[in-house]
């Protein structure tokens, strides 16, 4: 299962049933779990930690040092969970002293040319489109869809079940359950089709919709809108997540 043309450091730890193609380079201080498929010309560098059942396509580079001038060679990691599909030429840098690790969770699809910068955290079940670039210390919550050619500013936070239009760029947080698009990026309604596909009940969807009517269409400022939601609305788990997400936002949310 391991090509004789692959270059694997003797200190690397490789699990069972791992397929490694020709011209793969695996550095020291790398741990790779079971049942992974690593296609030709993949580079897996110092500090990479890869779980089980992943497929990594040609040209991907995992664990390269951060593109951050503050980096001083500290021991950090790039951590990838289970059952991810990492397509051609994806780059995932390892962390810096800020968080010490970059994390990609489980069951994600990172399409061709995606860049995941230092200290980024991507949750589970996300789809990241071709050539999307994510700067350092961003967070993407579970089950978000970020379309192709999106530019995500450092420190931004994207909520769960979001759909972001291709070609968008943003420097503020994108709250959960919505569609974000246009230029400049803005709120375009809730992600109704996505929520229905994911099994959200009509009642849950209506509570989400009512919350965003208050936030984006009531004419109230954000703080007053959140207070009114908390005092007037039934606080479902979805609404609580929306309120907590926005209250904890350090960059503010898109308009």
Count of other CB atoms within 10 angstroms of residue 90: 24
126's tokens:
């996300």
The DSSP letter of residue 111 is: -
Q: Show the DSSP H helices in 113-201 as ranges.
A: 192-197
Instruction: Quote the tokens at residue 145.
Output: 């869809």
**CA angle, corner 241, sides to 238 and 243, nearest 5?**
110
- Active site amino acids: 118-119, 136
Token readout for 69 is 């001038």
Helix residue ranges per DSSP H, the chain? 192-197, 202-217, 222-232, 237-247
* CA–CA distance, 118 with 99 (Å, rounded to integer): 9
Mapped onto helix, strand or coil, the DSSP state of residue 58 is: coil
- Cα separation of 75 and 10, whole Å? 19
- 37 - beta bridge partners? 19, 55
Residues ≥6 apart with Cβ < 8 Å to 147: 129, 132, 163, 164, 165, 166, 167, 168
Give the whole-angstrom CA distance, residue 192 versus residue 208.
10
User: What's the CA gap between 94 and 72, in Å, rounded?
Assistant: 13
């Amino acid at each position: 299962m391991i090509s004789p043309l692959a270059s694997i450091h003797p200190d690397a730890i490789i699990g069972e049933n791992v397929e490694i193609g020709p011209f793969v380079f695996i550095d020291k201080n790398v741990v790779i779990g079971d049942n992974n498929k690593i296609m030709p010309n993949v580079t897996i560098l110092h500090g990479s930690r890869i779980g089980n059942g992943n497929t990594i396509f040609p040209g991907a580079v995992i664990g390269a040092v951060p593109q951050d001038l503050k980096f001083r060679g500290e021991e950090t990691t790039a951590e990838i969970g289970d059952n991810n599909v990492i397509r051609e030429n994806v780059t995932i840098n390892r962390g810096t002293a800020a968080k010490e690790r970059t994390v990609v969770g489980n069951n994600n699809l990172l399409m061709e040319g995606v860049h995941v910068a230092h200290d980024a955290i991507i949750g589970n079940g996300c789809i990241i489109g071709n050539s999307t670039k994510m700067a350092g210390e961003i967070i993407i919550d579970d089950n978000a869809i970020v379309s192709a050619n999106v530019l995500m500013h450092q420190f931004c936070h994207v909520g769960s079940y979001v759909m972001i239009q291709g070609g968008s760029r943003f420097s503020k947080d994108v709250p959960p359950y919505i569609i974000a698009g246009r230029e400049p990026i803005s709120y375009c309604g809730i992600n109704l089709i996505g929520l229905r596909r994911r099994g959200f009940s009509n009642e849950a969807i209506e509570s989400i919709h009512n919350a965003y009517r208050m936030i984006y269409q009531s004419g109230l400022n954000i703080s007053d809108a959140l207070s009114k939601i908390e005092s007037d609305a039934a606080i479902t788990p979805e609404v609580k997540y929306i309120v907590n997400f926005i209250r904890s936002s350090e960059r503010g949310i898109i308009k």
